[in-house]
Amino acid sequence: MDKVVIINRKARRDYGVIKIWEAGIELKGSEIKSIRAGCVNLNESFARIVNGQVLLYNMHISNYAQASFFNVDELRIRRLLLHKGQINKITTELFQQGLTLVPLRVYINQRGFVKVELALCRGKKMYDRRESIKRREVEMQLRKVLKNRRR
């Protein structure tokens, strides 16, 4: 069972997810300890492909208090680890369809490695967001009715 550290709820609200990949992340110093403590923020973070590498921007990992001078910049650009074939596939889909790479969640797998769930997304229009909110409210009302009938 994976231990989920942080979920990017804003991404699911603002984007329609098309495809998902699991990527490792290159960390420095005491960043892993901060992630294990849950001091991560994915708001406004996104990924780009630069020179054949997938880079993650605006992911905030707070400094670890006990690390003193080993701490690194909290908002530094971090490299995501994917196979070359996966990167090529993502690149072609990004440029052909005008999509965005967004991190959905950060978690620690069973082997203790930090993983980032990276999604290929298309931005939702305002009416799409309203439609999904209405659908969610209808589902909640339906669940309440079914729950009351069982009693």
Question: Tens of pLDDT along 81-136?
Answer: 999 999 999 999 888 777 899 999 999 999 989 999 999 998 888 777 788 888 88
Q: Is residue 133 situated within a structural domain? A: no
Q: How far is CA 127 from the centre of its chain?
A: 24
Domain holding 42: CATH number? 2.40.280.10
Report the Cα–Cα distance between both ends of the chain, in Å, rounded: 34
Domain count, the chain: 1
Q: Is residue 77 situated within a structural domain? A: yes
Question: Tens of pLDDT along 21-56?
Answer: 999 999 988 888 888 888 899 988 999 999 999 999
Q: Is residue 71 situated within a structural domain? A: yes
What pLDDT does 21 receive?
95
What pLDDT does 45 receive?
92
Residues in the chain, how many?
151
Residue 81, strand partner residues: 24
In this structure, the number of other CB atoms found within 10 A of the CB of residue 35 comes to 21
Q: Is residue 92 situated within a structural domain? A: yes
- Specify the pTM: 0.79
Q: Is residue 132 situated within a structural domain? A: no
Q: Is residue 149 situated within a structural domain? A: no
Residue with tokens 């967001």: 129
Angstrom distance (rounded) from CA 35 to CA 64: 9
Domain that holds residue 11: 3-124
Q: Is residue 142 situated within a structural domain? A: no
Q: Is residue 106 situated within a structural domain? A: yes
